[in-house]
Structure 1
């Protein structure tokens, strides 16, 4: 009697890579003047009340979390009449110690650009560039190892991309956003580590979507529910990924890839159209040897 040949055992799933956290230098702004008194994105509704005390308590928990994770956090004072200063990521872009200021599209936020540049001048930054074209800081300019990913379509002007490339000396990849709910790049895409990213494909114009697939074939993809929970408005230190608690599916995917997802609740600040990353500007030091 012949015996059936043994079936080959399935190869075990590869282990996720070993992740390492790297301490970051961050800039934040307490929401002492935060309110929703105008609407410049689909998330803002002045008719919906904001609990200022709760917004501050949620922000403070994020601030203390960064400190507990070993990050250095510096603070800029919120100015009266500028309720969106809490969204520090929009205030500038800092790469290799160079600062490119922000120039806002909406008049309601225009004065924030100068306020943030004043902070950089007062805190020892020497290579500071006033922007010629509209760019909304790290809201639309996200830095990975090989590129600066540059969102456009709602806020940052395409003309700014050449300026960004000249200031930082890094290749810029333009990515067109097409869904007004994801009006900044940092609501639709996050850099996790090196050239590893996560994003929501439907937020991008088809050619930009194809470009992302080609440049980042192993990217983590967020579904609509997690994207609408602002799950991509996240901050990663290479191991720990701080993101909205409601993005549960995204957190599971991150854990499967060896990251440590940490959920937080910034529901009051979401009423202004921002979350974790919007509240966090990274101050990238000059590379070694520069």
Structure 2
């Protein structure tokens, strides 16, 4: 991806410090880690000036510093801003028909969600017509690591982004006793998600509920949302999980195409 370049006419009264701070943020488009010396050279300023600028970006959460390597990485504020821009594009209108088709084909409740910081927000859903079914969760937020739809999205993040969302080893918010309790366990789970191409949840967000989730990855915008199918545990044995994952992959590809 090419770095953004300034556009339009140069302001009549430019503020150099603001411009330098923005140039530092743009460096993270090209590399996940920025050394202070590289920041100094990019701006053509003294090392102390580069350090003060980075310190302000760290203070506001746009950047964080690795305590071992002393390099700088993108911070949670950058991720939150990017996600809020995606959320402002009402994906629900485009996704509604896809959700209805998923529910009709599988007979189970279909959900659409996006990351919201360390949580996942359910944007829309179509409920199963079974008497015993998983209720829609539209409008609710849950810890992303407790849901299949959230794990599918977390698996699209790089390690630095994941650790920015969960800076502590202990994951304290546990909806059930089956919910993951440590970041190490989450990282191992996400490796499985990446290998098989879908995420699962067996009683981790709600007792007796199972679900399968797949990320919706746009060719230009990256992961923009995720889809899931949820059912009572008894209706989601291992063979059905794989079938559900296949339907979700097809639906995610269709939604990605419609967003292009």
TM-score w.r.t. the length of structure 2 is 0.26
User: Looking at both structures, which has the greater relative contact order when contacts are Cα pairs under 8 Å and sequence separation is at least 6?
Assistant: 1
Which of the pair has more CA radius of gyration? 2
